[in-house]
Amino acid sequence: MPLQTEGIVIRNGRIRSLYFILEIYCPPIANQIKPGQFIMLKVSEDSSPILRRPFSVYKSYPDSHPEKQRRGCLFVLYKKVGKGTEKMTALKRDQKVNLIGPLGNGFSLPPLPSSADIALIGGGVGIISLYPLAAALKGRRLSVFIGGKTRSDILCAEDFKKLDSIISVATDDGSLGFHGTVVELFSSEIKTFKKNEKCYVYSCGPVAMLEALARKVKSKRFICEASLEARMGCGFGACWGCVVKTNDPKTPYQRVCKEGPVFSLEDIVWK
Ligand SMILES: Cc1cc2nc3c(=O)[nH]c(=O)nc-3n(C[C@H](O)[C@H](O)[C@H](O)COP(=O)(O)OP(=O)(O)OC[C@H]3O[C@@H](n4cnc5c(N)ncnc54)[C@H](O)[C@@H]3O)c2cc1C
Ligand code: FES
């Protein structure tokens, strides 16, 4: 059940170039949020920007978490791209912030056959929403594909390594890892997956990336979910500002914030 609530900033700082990490003490959301769900955050106390901004929760520490000093906290890893995220960089320790969450439907975690291949494919900040999923799948061997324009856009690799994942990196400019897109990299690795087993693919990234991925995984062998990035007004289903076209004849337009952000990749109609 989403809540509108207050959190307290514990820290907010740059990790590198345009990327920052914000730690918020907010037990009601830290206790509930599931992989793939998101929050809407009021990024400054003044009226500009008026609208909250959507963010994935990178890490959350519920009351049951073994790290006692972190309990109740959630982490947002964000990229400064515009007015709202610029203001967000000025949030200070002990400042109160208003947030709504958990929002949307996260990744479904059906019982995955123990021998099945599992691939996580993230482009840019999209990889952030896949980290909680990887943590929930701890113990499974995951193939993680991380893409970005350049090496400074490659996020979260160290955290995925700690989960014992196999990490492959792609950059558009070739400054790190494979020279090309993350979907091209994934395509070149498909041959290493078991041919007679289902392959579970979880992805998040820009629309062009997800569209390219959808073309590569047409075979029934792939079970694919994608978390969509959309511009959002309200974040909880009221404004219909975030709709996406789907193949469902009953509800051809669905709200990314409400019915998503996670959809079955084959259900999306790309423009
Ligand atoms: C469910 C969800 C989870 C997200 N999680 C994260 C996250 O964990 N970390 C993170 O850094 N960002 C995340 N984003 C994107 C983030 O919400 C936007 O970057 C942010 O709203 C930009 O606000 P702004 O005021 O700084 O930019 P604006 O001034 O509003 O826009 C600046 C530029 O960013 C583009 N932009 C703005 N919002 C989006 C969007 N939603 N998708 C694609 N492009 C956008 C605009 O087209 C414009 O070019 C997420 C978005 C969604 C929908
Ligand atoms: S952002 Fe308002 S309905 Fe989705």
pLDDT in tens, 63-89: 999 999 999 999 999 999 999 999 999
Question: Is residue 146 classed as helix, strand or coil in its secondary structure?
Answer: strand
pLDDT value of position 47 = 84
Cα-Cα end-to-end distance for the chain: 33
Pairing, β 222-228 against β 262-264: antiparallel
Sequential pLDDT tens for the chain (271 residues): 889 999 999 999 999 999 999 999 999 999 999 999 999 999 988 888 989 999 999 999 999 999 999 999 999 999 999 999 999 999 999 999 999 999 999 999 888 888 899 999 999 999 999 999 999 998 898 999 999 999 999 999 999 999 989 999 999 999 999 999 999 999 999 999 988 889 999 999 999 999 999 999 988 899 999 999 999 999 999 999 999 999 999 999 999 999 999 999 999 999 7
Q: Specify the DSSP class assigned to residue 221.
A: T
CA of 24 to the centre of ligand 1 (A): 19
Q: Which residue CA neighbors atom 35 of ligand 1 most closely?
A: 81
Contact 249, 269 (CB under 8 A): no
Q: Is the CB of 28 under 6 A from ligand 2?
A: no
Question: Is residue 42 classed as helix, strand or coil in its secondary structure?
Answer: coil
CB hemisphere CA count around 267 (13 angstroms): 22
Mean pLDDT in the chain?
95
Contact 255, 267 (CB under 8 A): no
User: CA 102: distance to chain centroid?
Assistant: 13
Q: Which of 269, 246, 249, 247 is nearest to 258 (CA)?
A: 246
**207-216 and 182-189 helices, crossing angle to 10°:** 20
Atom of ligand 2 nearest to the CA of 234: 2
Q: Which residue CA neighbors atom 39 of ligand 1 most closely?
A: 231
Please tell me the pTM assigned to this model: 0.95
- What is the length of the chain? 271
pLDDT value of position 110 = 82
Q: What is the best residue among 85, 88, 99, 239 to mutate for testing ligand 1's pocket, by most ligand atoms within 8 Å of CB?
A: 85
For the stretch 101-138, pLDDT in tens is: 999 999 998 888 888 999 999 999 999 999 999 999 98
CA of 12 to the centre of ligand 2 (A): 27
Q: Which of 110, 102, 162, 158 is nearest to 135 (CA)?
A: 162
